[in-house]
Amino acid sequence: MNVVIIGQSGVGKSSLVNMLCPGGNAYASNDATGCTAVEREYTCYLGKQQSCQVHDTIGLEEERWGFLPDMRAQKRLKKYLKAIELNLLVYCMSGMRGSLKRSHGRNYKKFKSVVGNNVPVVVVVTGLENFEGPLENWWLRNERELQNIGIPKTVGHACITALPKAVLESEKRVLYDKSCEDVKTLIRNNLPSGKVQR
């Protein structure tokens, strides 16, 4: 089972991979130049002896900061998605204040059409460690904005923080385990049933 994480540079794709696949050590950093330079897959244990392969990819849509200019990053990603047997696409974006950009809707729609109707696409919203209240409320609160940028409110999603425990303030560390569990549930619920590896 192949799950590919895509999204703009710096939204937390590699951090998410590290949360799902401890020990994988995907390179996550705040470098201005964008940091994931090559796609890589890691094994994620979903519980109940189920596992899947989670693929980290190069950031999209960062003309100035990304590892690759956007057009090249998109082309490369399309090629990558065609080359593997893809079962689920995860569009990762930041939910921090001011980060709901139209480009998210564009990317979401573009890659939804790239993978076709047989592959589900879900959304993971990162950057919510300072959100007040349960993190899943972020979606409800931003439903209209999401619709405006072209992401239907009915899309499968998880609202999380992907910051490592060591970086989170101590009272927020519970958010890490909850975030990890929520994304795993999202993945489990959207992989074709019966095909999850045991």
Ligand X SMILES: Nc1nc2c(ncn2[C@@H]2O[C@H](COP(=O)(O)OP(=O)(O)OP(=O)(O)O)[C@@H](O)[C@H]2O)c(=O)[nH]1
Residues that bind ligand X (CB under 6 A): 7, 9-15, 28-30, 34-36, 59, 126-127, 129, 161-163
Q: Report, in Å, the least distance between residue 130 CB and ligand X.
A: 8
Do 54 and 3 form a contact (C-beta atoms < 8 A)?
yes
Find the shortest distance in angstroms from Cβ 134 to ligand X.
16
Evaluate whether 91 touches 123 at the Cβ level (below 8 Å). yes
Output b/e per residue, 121-141; b: 16+ Cβ within 10 A: bbbbbbbbbebeeebbebbee
- Give min distance, CB of 169 to ligand X, in A: 11
Question: Which one of 8, 36, 74, 161 is in contact with Mg ion (CB under 5 A)?
Answer: 36
The residue (of 87 and 126) whose beta carbon lies closer to ligand X is 126
Q: Which of these ranges, 36-44, 76-84, 101-109, 176-184, lies near Mg ion under the rule CB under 5 A?
A: 36-44
Cα–Cα distance for residue pair 102/119, rounded to 1 Å: 23
Tokens 């993945």 -> residue: 187
Q: Which partner in ligand X, Mg ion, none is near 162 (CB below 5 to 8 A by kind)? A: ligand X
Instruction: Between 149 and 168, name the residue whose CB sits nearer to ligand X.
Output: 168
Closer CB to ligand X, 113 or 130, in the complex: 130
Q: Which is nearer to Mg ion, 13 or 184 (CB)?
A: 13
CB of 86 to ligand X, least distance (A): 19
Task: Report whether 56 contacts 5 (CB < 8 A).
Answer: yes
**How crowded is residue 176: how many other Cβ atoms within 10 Å of its Cβ?**
20
Q: Which amino acid is at 61?
A: E
Give me the amino acid identity at 87.
Answer: N
7-26: contacts with Mg ion (CB under 5 A) = 13-14
The structure tokens listed for 165 are 């425990």
Looking at the Cβ atoms of 29 and 43, the one nearer to ligand X is 29
The CB-of-14 to Mg ion minimum distance in angstroms stands at 3
Give yes or no for a contact between 12 and 19, defined as CB atoms under 8 angstroms apart: no
Q: How far apart are CA 74 and CA 99, in angstroms?
A: 20
What residue number has its CB nearest to ligand X?
59
Say which entry of ligand X, Mg ion, none residue 34 contacts (CB below 5 to 8 A, set by partner kind).
ligand X
Cβ closest to ligand X, residue 85 vs residue 159: 159
The label of the residue with tokens 């409110």 reads 153
